[in-house]
A and B are shown apart, each in its own frame.
Chain A
Amino acid sequence: MNLFRAIGLTLLVLLATLSSSGASEADLRGIIAKFATAKGFSETGAVVHELAATGDPAVERPLAALADGNLYIRKADSLVFVGKETGDGVELLDPLSGEKSADAAKDDITKIKVNNTLRRVIRDALGTLTLGAKDPAVRIAAADTMFKTPDAANIEPLDTAIANETLASVKALLEQARAASVLVSDRPDADKLAAIALIGARGDRDAVSLLTSVEANAPDAVREAATAAIRNINSTLAFWDAGQNIWYGISLGSVLLLAAIGLAITFGVMGVINMAHGEMVMLGAYTTFVVQQVIRTSFPGLFDWSLVIALPLAFLVAALVGLAIERGVIRFLYGRPLETLLATWGVSLILQQAVRSIFGPTNQEVGNPSWMSGSFNVGQLAITWNRLWILVFALSVFAVLLYVMKRTPWGLQMRAVTANRRMAASMGIRTPWVDALTFALGSGIAGIAGVALSQIDNVSPNLGRGYIIDSFMVVVFGGVGNLWGTLVGAFSLGIVNKFLEPYAGAVLGKIVVLVLIILFIQKRPRGLFALKGRAVEA
C-alpha cells in the first residue's frame, strides 16, 4: 500500500513537471499497454498509479473496468481491451473510446487479476479523477472515498473542486474530505485544529476512525483537540446506538410477526398444534424462487415486480396445501392435540423431503429487487431497505388479517366457531368448512411470509425449521387466540432480544429470552393478552 503510494507520488511529481495539461492519447495507450507485461498485483498497481497520475478523465473507463475484473489481454497480440461478456464469448471494446473492436472466445483472452488492495488503489485513484463529474452522486462517492483515504496530495484538487462546486451538500462533503487530507499533511497546527472541528461536526464512525488514527501521532494541541472531538462524537453515537437497537428490535420483531401470524390463526384461533407451519413458509419462499426463475428466463424486464407477482401465488400454493392437510389429516384429529402434533410433524418431514427431491438439497438463489437493496441513513442510523419493506409488509398483513377477522362475515363465522362450536353449528354455520378455510387462510399467510423471508434468509428445504420454535414462542407469549397479542409479543421479543445481544452475545441472549418467557408463562399461563370467554374452558 505504502509502496503503491510512494510510486504514485513520485510519478505524479515527475509527470507534473513534464506536462501540466494531461497526456496525449498515444501516451495513455502506451501506459495501458503496460498492463499486459505487469506481473503480480504490485506491478499492476504501479500501472494504475501511472494512469491516474495523468489526470486525464479518459482513464476512468479502463480503471473502472479493471476494478470490476473486466479488463482483458488478448493472448495473440498482448493488446489490452475492456471486455463485455456475451452469451458464449466476450465482446472486446477499446479501453479508451469504449467502441467495439472485436469478438473473442473466452480461451483467447486472459483476465487481468485484481485483489482487494488493488481495488482500493483504483478506488482512491478514481476518487481524484471523478471529483469534477457531472453526476452529483459520483462526486459524493469521490468525496467519500477521499475522506476515508486522506492524502496530502489531495488538498489541491479538492480546493479546485470546492471552488467549482454548486451544490451545498456536496460542497460540505468535499470540505470534510479536504479537512481529512489537511490532517495527514504537514500544514500548520492551526489549520489542523480547524480541520478537526469540521470533522468532529460530521460525527459518524468514519470520523472517529480518522481522528483515532490522527490521535496516535500528533503534536499535543492537535491530539487534545482530536481526543475531545472523539469523546464528543462517541457520546452522540451512544445515543444513536440505543436508537439502532430499537430499530433492529423492531425489524426482528417484524420477521417474528410475519413468521408467527399464520400460526396465530391455526394454533391461536383453531387450537391446532401445527408443526408443519414452517414448511408453509418454506413453500412460499420456493414459490418466489420459481416465479423469479420464470421471470429470469422469459420476462427479465419484470424482475423488480417478481415479489409482487409471487405474493398471490405463494398465498394460493400454501393455502391449497394447507387445505389438503386439513381435509386429509387434521380434521380427523380435532381435540387430540398430541396426535395432531405428531401427524403435522410427519407432514412437515414429508414436505421437506419432497422439496429436497424436487429442487435439490442446496440453497436456491432468490434475488433482491432493486428497491429492496442497499440502505439509507437517518442521522447516524443505517436503515436497510429490505428490513424496512419487511416491516411495512408485516404490518399490512396484520392489518388485513385483523380486518378479515373483525369486519367480514367469514371472520365472524370463524370467531363464532372458535368461541362455541356447537352453538355455531346450530346457527347454521358449516363448521367443517369454516375449519378448513381458516386453516387454509393461516397456511396461505405463512406462504406470503415466505415471500418476504426469502429476501433475508436461505431458501432451502430447512427454511421452516428455523422459524417454528420462534413462532410458537411468539404466539404463546402474546396470548393464544389473540392477534394483538401476537403483534405485541413479536415486537417485544424482538426488542428485548436485540437489547440483550450486544451485551450477552447472540447465544446467551437467546437463552435469556427463553428463560424470561418460561418465567412469564409461570406467572401468566395464558400469555400477555388472555382470551376471555368459553373458548378458554373448552
Chain B
Amino acid sequence: MRGNFSTITKMFSASVVAAGLLMSVPARAADDTIKVGILHSLSGTMAISETTLKDAMLMLIDEQNAKGGLLGKKLEAVVVDPASNWPLFAEKARELISKDKVAAVFGCWTSVSRKSVLPVFSELDNILFYPVQYEGEESERNVFYTGAAPNQQAIPAVDYLMSEDGGSVKRWVLEGTDYVYPRTTNKILEAYLKAKGVAAEDIMVNYTPFGFSDWQTEVSAIKKFGSAGKKTAVVSTVNGDANVPFYKELGNQGIKAEDIPVMAFSVGEEELAGLDTAPLVGHLAAWNYFESVDTPENKKFIADWHKFIKNDKRTTNDPMEAHYIGFNMWVKAVEKAGTTDPDKVIDAMIGVSVPNLTGGYSTMMPNHHITKPVLIGEIQADGQFETVSRTPGLVMGDEWSDYLPDSKDLISDWRAPLSCGNFNVATGKCGGKGTN
C-alpha cells in the first residue's frame, strides 16, 4: 500500500512541478548577466524550511544588483523547484547547469538531497553552496559547506551541558528522527561521551520516524530515564515537522527545562514560530546564529529581510546566515578570480574571509568548510533564543570526525599539491572512506 502511494506521489509531484516550471522559468540567456541557480524545494514536505532560503537568496541577489552587480554584470536568479523529491534534485541540478548555464548553485537541505546532486556537480564541474548543518563525513571539490559540521554544533552543545553553567549533566538521552544526520551525529556523540567517561547505561538512544506525531511513550520514557538521581538532558536531532508535537508533549507532561533540558540541533526560530513557547522557556538550541544576536550587521540583515518579504513577523535563522556568508564569499571569490569559471572560483574560494552576522569574520578553509562561532541559546517566551554561551573563538569545521574509528585518520585539503577530500594520514593515500 505504502509503496504504491509513494510511487504515485512521486510521479504526480514530478510531473505537476515540471509542468509548472517550464512555464515559469525564463530561458533567455543574455551575455550581460551572470546566472545563479537556486535549488530549494518550494513544494512537498521540505517546502516548510526551504522556501525561506529561496527568498533569502533572492534578497541577497537583489542587494548585490543594487550595489552594481558583479564584474560589471547583473546577477540573475534561476529558481527551480525540486519538490522535496530526491531524484528530482539531481535532474533539476543538471537542468540548471547544462541548460541555464548558471555560475553557481545555492541549495539543498537534507543530506540525501545533497548526496543525490553530488555526482551531477562533479560531472558537470559546477559549484554548490550547502547551507545546512549536517553530519560531516564528506568533503567534495565542488561543494562548499557553509552550515555547521558536528564539531561546530553538536560537540560544543554537549560540552556546554557538561559544564557547571549548563547543569553538569551526567545522563544523556539522544533522541532523533530516523535518518542519516541524526544517526551519524548520535554515533559521534556517543563516542565522544564515552571518551569523556560517561557509562553506557547513562546513554539512551531512540529514533522515531519522519513526521512522528504521537510522542507520549517517548516523552514518558525520557521522564523515566531522568529519574535515576542524576542530572539528565536530552540531545534532540528530531527533524522538521515532528518537533512541534514533541515540544507540545514535553510541555503537557510538565517536563521543565530546569529539570530535564532539551538541546536541539534542528530547531530554530522558524520552527518555534508554530508554537506557544511559554511552557518551553529554557530549552536549548545550538546554532551558529540566532535572530536575537545584537550586532549592527544582524540588525540590518533583519530589517532588509522584513522589507524584502513585506512581513515584519518573518523570522531569520541559521541556514539563512549560512547563505549570507556563502553568497558573499562567492561574490568575493569571483571578484578575486575575475571570472565566474567554476574551476578558477573553486581555487579562489579558499582563504576568502567575509563578515558573518554575529560580529566576526568567517573564513573558507581548505577543507571547504568555514569557521564560525558556536552559540548556545535558551528558548524565550517570545519565540526567540537568548544566547547563554558562546565559544570564545571561531570553530573550524571538521569534516571527518575525530571520534569515529573510520574517519579519525582522514583529512581534507583541496589546495594544489594535495587536492584531496579524503586523505588518510595513516596510510598516506587519498581515497579513505568515512562512516557513510
Chain A residues within 8 Å of B, Cβ to Cβ: 1, 3, 41-42, 68-69, 113, 115-117, 119-120, 123, 148, 205-206, 208-216, 244-245, 248, 251-252, 255, 341-342, 345-346, 349, 352-353, 356, 360-365, 367-368, 373-375, 382, 384-387, 456-462, 465-466, 468-469, 472-473, 498, 501-502, 505-507, 510, 514
Can you offer 29 A-B residue contacts whose CB atoms are under 8 A? Answer: A1-B164, A42-B165, A69-B380, A116-B257, A120-B167, A212-B228, A213-B229, A214-B229, A216-B229, A255-B214, A346-B12, A352-B43, A362-B274, A363-B48, A363-B273, A367-B276, A373-B279, A374-B254, A384-B252, A386-B248, A456-B245, A456-B248, A457-B244, A458-B244, A460-B241, A462-B45, A466-B213, A505-B208, A507-B208
With known contacts A1-B168, A209-B229, A244-B220, A505–B207 Cβ distance under 8 A: yes
- Taking the nearest CB of chain B, how far is it from the CB of A260, in angstroms? 15
C-alpha gap A227/B1 in the complex (Å):
51
Q: Cβ of B202: which chain A residues have Cβ within 8 Å of it?
A: none
Task: Say how far B245's CB is from chain A's closest CB, in angstroms.
Answer: 5
Closest to B161 in A: A116
Contact A510 B209 (CB under 8 A): yes
Given contacts A119-B282, A216-B229, contact A507 B253 (CB under 8 A): no
Check B388 against A115 for contact (C-beta < 8 Å). Answer: yes
* Residues A459 and B209 in contact in the complex (CB < 8 Å), given A117-B166, A216-B229: no
B178 — which chain A residues lie within 8 A by C-beta? 507
B223 sits at the interface (CB 8 A): yes
Residue B206 at the A interface, CB < 8 A? Answer: yes
Q: Once bound together, how far apart are the Cα atoms of A363 and B244, in whole Å?
A: 9
CA gap between A213 and B228 in the complex, in Å: 7
Minimum Cβ distance to chain A for residue B133 (Å): 19
Compute how far the CA of A346 lies from the CA of B19 in the bound complex, rounded to whole angstroms: 14
Contact of B47 among A214, A215, A356 (CB under 8 A): A356
Chain A contacts of B1 at CB under 8 A? 469, 472-473
Contact A386 B252 (CB under 8 A): yes
Contacts of A353 in B (CB 8 A): 43
**Residue in B164, B245, B257 whose beta carbon sits within 8 Å of that of A458 in the complex:** B245
Taking the closest CB of chain B, its distance from the CB of A360, in whole angstroms, is 8
- In the assembled complex, B21 has its CB within 8 A of some CB on chain A: no
* Chain A minimum-CB-distance residue to B271: A363
Q: How far is the CB of A97 from chain B (nearest CB, A)?
A: 25
Name the CB-closest residue of A to B213: A457
A456 / chain B contacts, CB cutoff of 8 Å? 213, 245, 248-249
A120 to B256, CA, bound (A): 10
Closest to B252 in A: A384
Interface contact B273-A362, CB-CB below 8 Å: yes
B164 x A465 contact (CB < 8 A): no
Q: Please, which residues of chain A bring their CB within 8 A of the CB of B279?
A: 373
Whether a CB of chain A sits under 8 angstroms from the CB of B95 is no
Is the Cβ of A465 less than 8 Å from the Cβ of B211?
yes
A460-B253 contact given A208-B227, A212-B229, A505-B207, CB 8 Å threshold: no
Residues of chain B within 8 A (CB-CB) of A214 are 229
Is B51 part of the binding interface, using a Cβ–Cβ cutoff of 8 Å? yes
CA distance A363 to B315 in the complex (A): 12
**Contact indicator per residue, chain B 261-277, by CB within 8 Å of chain A (1) or not (0):** 10000000011011110
Cα distance, A352 to B166, chains bound together (Å): 42
Q: B51's closest neighbor in chain A, by CB?
A: A361
Residue B224 CB within 8 A of the other chain: yes
Please, which residues of chain A bring their CB within 8 A of the CB of B2?
Answer: 469, 514
In the bound complex, CA of A356 to CA of B241 (Å): 15
Point out the residue from B16, B167, B244, B275 that lies within 8 Å of A116, measured CB to CB. Answer: B167
Interchain nearest-CB distance for B200 vs A (Å)? 18
Interface size on B, residues (CB 8 A): 70
Prevailing SS type, chain A contact patch: helix
Within 8 A of A (CB), among B225-252: 226-230, 241, 244-245, 248-249, 251-252
Question: What's the Cα separation between A346 and B17 when bound, in Å?
Answer: 12
Interface contact B216-A248, CB-CB below 8 Å: yes
Chain B nearest CB, measured from A184 CB (Å): 12
Chain B nearest Cβ from A495, distance in angstroms: 12
Contact B164 A375 (CB under 8 A): no
Knowing that A208-B228, A248-B214, A468-B5 touch, tell me 5 more A-B residue pairs with CB under 8 angstroms: A252-B214, A346-B12, A367-B276, A457-B244, A506-B208
Contact B207 A507 (CB under 8 A): yes
- Structural contact, A505 and B258, CB atoms closer than 8 A: no
Complex partner residue of A457 from B220, B245, B254, CB under 8 angstroms: B245
Among candidates B16, B228, B252, B258, residue contacting A123 with C-beta atoms closer than 8 Å:
B258
Max chain B Cβ within 10 angstroms of own Cβ: one of A115, A214, A363: A115
- Closest residue to A41 on the B side, CB-wise? B165
- 5 A-B pairs with least C-beta separation: A363-B274, A213-B229, A212-B229, A205-B227, A209-B227
Q: Which residue of B lies closest to A40 (CB)?
A: B165
State whether B48 touches A505 (Cβ < 8 A): no
Cβ–Cβ contact B206 & A365, under 8 A? no
The answer to whether A375 and B254 have CB atoms under 8 Å apart is: yes
Question: Given that A115-B378, A120-B258, A365-B273 are known contacts, is A506 also in contact with B209, CB under 8 Å in the complex?
Answer: yes
B386 interface contact, C-beta 8 A: yes
When C-beta atoms are compared, the residue in chain A nearest to B209 turns out to be A507
A284: min CB distance to chain B, Å: 16
In the bound complex, CA of A466 to CA of B241 (Å): 10
0 or 1 for each of B369-403: is its CB under 8 Å from A? (1 = yes)? 00000000010110000101000000000000000
Do B217 and A502 touch across chains, with their CB atoms under 8 A apart? Answer: yes
Residue pair B51, A365 in contact (C-beta under 8 Å): no
Cβ contact within 8 Å between B388 and A113:
yes
Known A209-B228, A375-B253, A506-B209; judge A459-B164 contact (CB<8 A): no
Q: Is B13 an interface residue (CB 8 A)?
A: yes
Chain B residues closer than 8 Å to A461, beta-carbon distance = 47-48
Q: Complex Cα distance A1/B288, Å?
A: 27
Closest to B226 in A: A209
